[in-house]
Structure formats: structure tokens, C-alpha cells
């Protein structure tokens, strides 16, 4: 259920929001305050979960490593003016806005640009059956088929999240995060900024509201829901197969066969990566079926316009016993 459509009250317009919360600082002024190594170090020092108490001036100055008190005071005042730091009983503490700056830096997107060479995954291309390859570049994970030159998955992953993980493990973690993002997007919530997302159902890529130079115009992804954030523009594309991967009936079918679905990336599930596995049964109202096959057992899930499951049918292949 979309929480934006429940709970009463009407949506605020952009101008109403602006009137309610006037911006204290334009983006340019904010970046001007933050574009200084000493100030970033002050924020990083104040963001210490093991030291949650506000810090006295001298203690903070020494921790940051600036000997000149008046110079240090100048930088601290800039952070106070920008409301990244607050003063409590004569001591200094980080505000949430300051913590967001620290996190933006520590996630590594701004400073680290590692790359991982393509490696062969255990997944197969739903179109041609050849192995799928994964790589990391441009702070994104790509899963693609080299044989038919088809991009199966693309998604951002923070450079620092690669630390202490093998590429295979990092990709598995990325898949779990991407599944959570799908869950949020389906409920109209932007996984990046939590603002409202708009959904467009497209029969093929030509009907999609999203254009990206990573996406191939000629690549037929079949029926896909495109969720685009009304504020930050982040988008999430969801096929009918991706919409049912966490459905209790699907999870249970895999569990019965001894598989934990969380341990298998979505692109390694043959029924999920095959665009022809979504069949439009009726147009009005829209009904789409997705078949999930595990060994001799098959689930046929029927989805409505919003990709909600409205029916689950189960068949067991005749084994001749
Ligand atoms: Zn292929
Ligand atoms: Zn957003």
C-alpha cells in the first residue's frame, strides 16, 4: 500500500513547503562553507558515536590539530552559521545536517573511484543462456551478458561498501539492498531521499519516462514499471518477475526445495531474467502472469496493474508415480 495515499491530509505543494520551511542556506553557500579541509575535519571529529557528548572548544581544537585558536574559531563559526554544528552549554556538537556531510564523504562516492574487472557469475542470460558477467565501475554494479551484449542489472553501490568483502559477496549484498529499494519504490518511497515516487507502466522501453546512456534503446525489457522520484530524480525499474521475488509463496517454494532465496542474486534465477516470462493475459483490467519453476513444482502468479499478486496457482508435474 502506498503510504502517500493513506493517512489523510492533502499533499503540500512545492511553494507551500518553501513557505513552511524557508531554506536557511542556498546550495552554493552550503558548499562554500563545506569546501574547506579544516571544517570537514571538525565535522568528522564531532561525528564520533563513541563520544556523543558535546566537546569543549580546547578539546575539539586539539583533536582537529589546529594550533591557532582564532583561526580555529573562524572555521567553527562558519559551521555554526551554516547550522552544521550547534553550541550546547558552551560546548560544541554536530547537528544532523553535519552528520549527513560526514556520511556523504565517508561513503566514498566523492573521493574513491575503484573498479573491479568483469568476472563470470554463476547466473545465465535469460535471452541466450550464456554466462552473466559482473563488474564494478563508475560507482555502479553492472551485470551483463557479453554474448548478446545485454545489460541485465545496473545499480549504485558505495565504494567503501566494497571494503572487507570479496567482489562476489559485495555483489550479493548489493542485490539485497536493491531488493529493499524495489520494496520501497513499489510503495512510492524513494530509496535515496524518501520523497514520493511517480510510477509509469511501460510496455517497452520507448514508453519509459527514463533515458540513460547506460540503457539500450533497442533492448526490449518487456512490461516494466518505472518509478521516478519527484524530488531527486532517482529511478527504479521493476519487472513483474522482480515484483514477485519476495512474495511469500515464492520464498516458501524455494524453502521447500532447500534454497534460501536471499542467498541467490535475482539475476541467477532463470525465470526472473527471462523477459518473456511475463505474459499479459488481459488488457482491461490488466492481468499479467509470471511462472516460477523450481524442479517439478511450478507457481503461476497473477499480477494486477500495480504488480500486486491477485492469484497464486500451484502445479506439481506428473512424475508418473
Ligand atoms: Zn545473452
Ligand atoms: Zn528521491
Specify the pLDDT at position 320. Answer: 46
Are 280 and 286 within 8 A, CB to CB? Answer: yes
Å from CA of 315 to ligand 2 middle: 41
What are 56's three cell numbers?
A: 569543549
Residue boundaries of the structural domains of the chain: 3-106, 116-239, 243-316
CB 160 within 8 A of CB 168: no
List the strands of the sheet with 197-202, edge to edge.
Answer: 197-202, 224-229, 235-238
First and final CA of the chain: distance in angstroms? 44
Nearest ligand for residue 184 CA: 2
Predicted model pTM:
0.83
CB under 5 Å of ion ligand 1: residues: 125, 127-128, 130, 145, 147-148
Q: Which cell numbers hold the place of 147?
A: 554474448
Phi and psi at residue 233, in whole multiples of 5°? 80, 0
Which pLDDT belongs to residue 110? 86
Cβ(262)–Cβ(168) under 8 Å?
no
Give the burial class of 230: count Cβ atoms within 10 A of its Cβ; 0-12 exposed, 13-18 middle, 19 or more buried.
middle
Helix (H, G, I), strand (E, B) or coil at 314: strand
**What distance in angstroms lies between residue 63's CA and the mean position of ligand 1's atoms?**
55
pLDDT of residue 27: 87
Q: Which residues sit with Cβ closer than 5 angstroms to ligand 2, an ion?
A: 190, 192-193, 195, 229, 231-232, 234
* pLDDT value at residue 6: 56
CA of 295 to the centre of ligand 1 (A): 23
Grid cell at residue 216: 539500450
pLDDT of residue 226: 95
The x, y and z cell numbers of residue 134, run together, are 559482473
The whole-angstrom separation of Cα 47 and Cα 244 is 40
| Cβ 109 vs Cβ 160: under 8 Å | no
Q: What is the pLDDT of residue 114?
A: 92
| Nearest ligand to the C-alpha atom of residue 230 | 2
- Which ligand sits nearest to residue 274's alpha carbon? 1
Please choose, from the candidates 72, 92, 96, 68, the residue with its C-alpha nearest in 3D space to the C-alpha of residue 80: 92
- In the three-class reduction of DSSP (H, G, I as helix; E, B as strand; rest coil), residue 198 is classed as strand
**Per-residue confidence (pLDDT) for residue 60, from 0 to 100:** 95
pLDDT score, position 53: 86
Beta strands 297-303 and 286-294, pairing class: antiparallel
All residue ranges of the chain with pLDDT < 70 are 1-24, 51, 219, 317-321
CA 30, 33, 36, 39: dihedral to nearest 10 degrees? -110
Specify the fold of 3-106. Arc Repressor Mutant, subunit A (1.10.10)
Amino acid at each position: 500500500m502506498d503510504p502517500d495515499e493513506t493517512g489523510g491530509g492533502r499533499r503540500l505543494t512545492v511553494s507551500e513547503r518553501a513557505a513552511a520551511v524557508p531554506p536557511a542556506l542556498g546550495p552554493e553557500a552550503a558548499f562554500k562553507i563545506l569546501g574547506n579541509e579544516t571544517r570537514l575535519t571538525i565535522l568528522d571529529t564531532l561525528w564520533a558515536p563513541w563520544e556523543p557528548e558535546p566537546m569543549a572548544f580546547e578539546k575539539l581544537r586539539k583533536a582537529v590539530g589546529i594550533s591557532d585558536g582564532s583561526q580555529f574559531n573562524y572555521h567553527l563559526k562558519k559551521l555554526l552559521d551554516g547550522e552544521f554544528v550547534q553550541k550546547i552549554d558552551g560546548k560544541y556538537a554536530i547537528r544532523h545536517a553535519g552528520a549527513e556531510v560526514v556520511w556523504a564523504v565517508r561513503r566514498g562516492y566523492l573521493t574513491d573511484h575503484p573498479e573491479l574487472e568483469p568476472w563470470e557469475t554463476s547466473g545465465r542470460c535469460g535471452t541466450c543462456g550464456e554466462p552473466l558477467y559482473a563488474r564494478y565501475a563508475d560507482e555502479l554494479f553492472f551485470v551483463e551478458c557479453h554474448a548478446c551484449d545485454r545489460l541485465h542489472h545496473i545499480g549504485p553501490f558505495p565504494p567503501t561498501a566494497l571494503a572487507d568483502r570479496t567482489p562476489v559477496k559485495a555483489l550479493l549484498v548489493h542485490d539485497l539492498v536493491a531488493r529493499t529499494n524495489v520494496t520501497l519504490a513499489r510503495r512510492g518511497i524513494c530509496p535515496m531521499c524518501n520523497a514520493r515516487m511517480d510510477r509509469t507502466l511501460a510496455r517497452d522501453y520507448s514508453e519509459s519516462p527514463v533515458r540513460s546512456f547506460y540503457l539500450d534503446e533497442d533492448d526490449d525489457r518487456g512490461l516494466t514499471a518505472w518509478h521516478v522520484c519527484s524530488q531527486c530524480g532517482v529511478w527504479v525499474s521493476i519487472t513483474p518477475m522482480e515484483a514477485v521475488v519476495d512474495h511469500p509463496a515464492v520464498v516458501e517454494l524455494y524453502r521447500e526445495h532447500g534454497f534460501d532465496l536471499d542467498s541467490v542474486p535475482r539475476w541467477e534465477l532463470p525465470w526472473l531474467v527471462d523477459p518473456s516470462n511475463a505474459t499479459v493475459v488481459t488488457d482491461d483490467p490488466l492481468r499479467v502472469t509470471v511462472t516460477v519453476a523450481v524442479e517439478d513444482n511450478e507457481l503461476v502468479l497473477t499480477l494486477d496493474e500495480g504488480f500486486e499478486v491477485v492469484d497464486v496457482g500451484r502445479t506439481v508435474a506428473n512424475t508418473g508415480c
